[in-house]
Amino acid sequence: MENLSLPQPGFVVPHSLCLVNSFKKWTGADLLPGNFAPADLAEKLFRAPFVLVSHGMQSDPILNYGNRAALELWEMSWDEFVRTPSRLTAEAPRREDRARLLDQVSRQGYIDNYSGIRISKSGRRFEISRAIVWNLLSADGELCGQAASFSEWKYL
């Protein structure tokens, strides 16, 4: 990857707080254990050994965050990643299953232990396991997107 430093700190720092605060609200657990200043938190999430991704609330949601592990797994730069409709991270035949999952998350707040097949930019297929998917809430409690995290995957 040509750029593995923390991208767009003006967005990423507050978004990192949204990611961890929303995760804590829904699951009761810490996404990243410890107490960090916002900029340090953003840096630690970006460099974390697990995959962390999110998308916005558009009618066809666009990815708006991927940490270094996600960028490497999907074989994209930050600029490519944050222009990608999130549905394109799954193969076409599996997009309906993915849409049902996201609808379930919208209703429940989060789900854990999700597994599914995803596809990278180059067409490399991989199966994710034990993913947690949750709704993102703004500081005023409004739904502002969805996020997912996982640390288990295997190439197919």
Mean pLDDT (whole number) for 123-132? 95
Structure confidence by residue, pLDDT tens digits, 57-83: 999 999 999 999 999 999 999 999 999
Structure confidence by residue, pLDDT tens digits, 42-52: 999 999 999 99
Give the whole-angstrom CA distance, residue 88 versus residue 57: 16
pLDDT of residue 2: 44
Instruction: Give the CATH number of domain 9-155.
Output: 3.30.450.20
Mean pLDDT (whole number) for 123-130? 95
pLDDT at position 118 over 80: yes
96 vs 58, more confident: 58
Every domain of the chain and the residues it spans: 9-155
pLDDT at position 53 over 80: yes
Give the whole-angstrom CA distance, residue 24 versus residue 30: 6
Lowest mean pLDDT among 58-67, 94-103, 125-134: 94-103
31 vs 92, more confident: 31
Give the Cβ contact number of residue 110 at 10 Å.
19
Cα 95 from chain centroid? 16
pLDDT of residue 107: 87
Instruction: Judge whether 152 and 49 are in contact, CB under 8 Å.
Output: no
Distances (CA, A) of 142 to 13, 26, 29, 66, 137: 19, 14, 20, 22, 5
Give the whole-angstrom CA distance, residue 118 versus residue 128: 7
> Residues 64, 9, 119, 105: is their CA dihedral positive or negative?
negative
pTM over 0.85: yes
